[in-house]
Structures are given as C-alpha cells and as structure tokens.
Chain A
Amino acid sequence: MIQVFFYLFATTVIAGALGVVLLRNTVYAALSLIGALLGVAAVYILLSVEFLALVQILIYAGAVTVLLLFALMLTRARELQERLDGDQKPLAAVAALVLLGAFITVMDQTTWPRDVGEITTVPFATIGDALLTRWAVPFELVSGVLLVALVGAIILAMQEEGEP
C-alpha cells in the first residue's frame, strides 16, 4: 500500500517538474510547479514529517508560487509568445544526464543502512523546542537573512524618480 502511494507521489513530482522545464506556456509551467511542490509535500507526509508538509504547502505551494505568478504577470512573459528555450538546450540535456549518471554511480557504490525499524514521528512541540535551543543561532541568522532580503527586495523594486 505504502509502495503504491510512494510511486504515485513520485510520479506526480517528476511529472510536475518535467512540466516546469518542458511546457511552452509560462503560466502553465508555474501551475505545473504547484503540482510538483504538492507532490513533495505528500512525500513528506509519507515520511511522517507532517510539520514540513504543512510548511511546504503554506510557503511553497501558496506564497512562493503566487509570487512567481505575479512576476510572470509583471514581466508580461505571456504576451511575448516567443521561444522559451535557449540555444544551449542540447548541451543542457547532456549536462543533466551526466549529472544524473554521476549521482547514480555514487549511490550504487555506497552501502546504505538497512532495516532501520519503526519511524519515530517527531512532534511539533519537539521541533519548536529544538529550533529555539539547540538550533537557536542558525534560527536567528535565518531570520536576519529573511529581513535583509525582504528590505533589499523592496528597495530594488521601488520606483526611482523619473521612471515611468
């Protein structure tokens, strides 16, 4: 049963990802990205990491995709109706395949742990606790990064004087 669900979710993720890189319409590509991200959230649930699944749906499938759609709208990518792939498309495919081959070779030559037993589900409270004790410094750093990035984004996107 779990296997059926895993391969179903894996197919969803890969199909969505292929849609992002292959579709000819940019808005369809963005919608396909939502499918891939929701599939990743389902994989998290399968791994019994519910917290990450919720965060994934809220932030990625919700906020990030809406931002991307806004960017598509503001740059009017849809009206231009031009080719979406660069000249280096064949080279890109070769590079991606070589990388995949390297990954698979490395994975094959490593022995992975077997028979790990039952998964322990991590409760939300434990994650919150760990974030504010053991991981407090990276947590604060990442909040600083978010603040700086968002202020920088506002300044970059602001209209300068004399601009239409």
Chain B
Amino acid sequence: MESVTQEIPLEHFLMLSFILFTIGVYGVLARRNAVIVLMSVELMLNAVSINMVAFAVYTAPSLFAGIIFAIFIIAVAAAEVGLALAVILRLFRNRGTANIDEVDTLKW
C-alpha cells in the first residue's frame, strides 16, 4: 500500500500552499472590485489551511492539531465573508460603487 507521505515530500504541499498564497496576495493588491478582493482573501486562507493540514499529517499525526486549526479557519472565514459582504452591500448603497480605489474618504 503506497502512502502519500512516502510518495510526495512535504515540500510539494508547502510549495502548493505558497503559490496559492502569493496568487491571493496578488489578487488582493491588484484587483479593484471588493468582492474579488474577498475571493482572493479566501484563496490565502485556503493556502494556510493546506499548510496546517500538511504539517499535521507529516509531523504530528497523533495530535492532529493542524486539522482542528483548519476547522477553526473555515469557521472564521465563514464569519468574515458574511460580515464583509454586509459591509460591501452598505458601501454600494451609500457610495454607488464596489470598487475599493474609489472609496478614498479616509485618504489624506
């Protein structure tokens, strides 16, 4: 029976998580639609989850703390999405735009 820990080194999972995280960073910085910025944040959270789970499986399988962490990340992400969508909705109603670079009242 082949096992994933023998076939694929931990680094490959880390690499996947790094690439996913940097794509998320790019999305947050480059996009101007607030909803797509939110999607990019979700990508970053997923990258962290992959990281945690890979470490849990490869280094401390009996503790599975990484899996619990990933569950908490998903719960907090759900709360964050709900709240952020309410903020975006309010923003759209008050300012008529969902583009983050047009909301510059706080900019000096």
Contacts and interface: CB of A to CB of B under 8 A. Distances in A.
B83 A122 contact: no
Contact of A127 (B36, B42, B64, B88): B64
B79 interface: yes
Interface string A126-164: 110011000100100010011001101110110000010
Interface size class of B (residues with CB under 8 A): 35 or more
A77 B88 CA distance: 12
B2 A1 contact: yes
Contacts of B4: 2, 6, 46-48, 119
A3 B2 CA distance: 11
A91 B15 CA distance: 23
Interface in B42-91: 42-43, 46, 49-50, 53-54, 56-59, 61-62, 64, 67-68, 70-72, 74-83, 85-90
A156 B13 CA distance: 39
A14 B19 contact: yes
A119 to B, nearest CB: 6
B80 to A, nearest CB: 7
Given A113-B10, A119-B4, A146-B75, A71 B35 contact: yes
B57 A14 contact: no
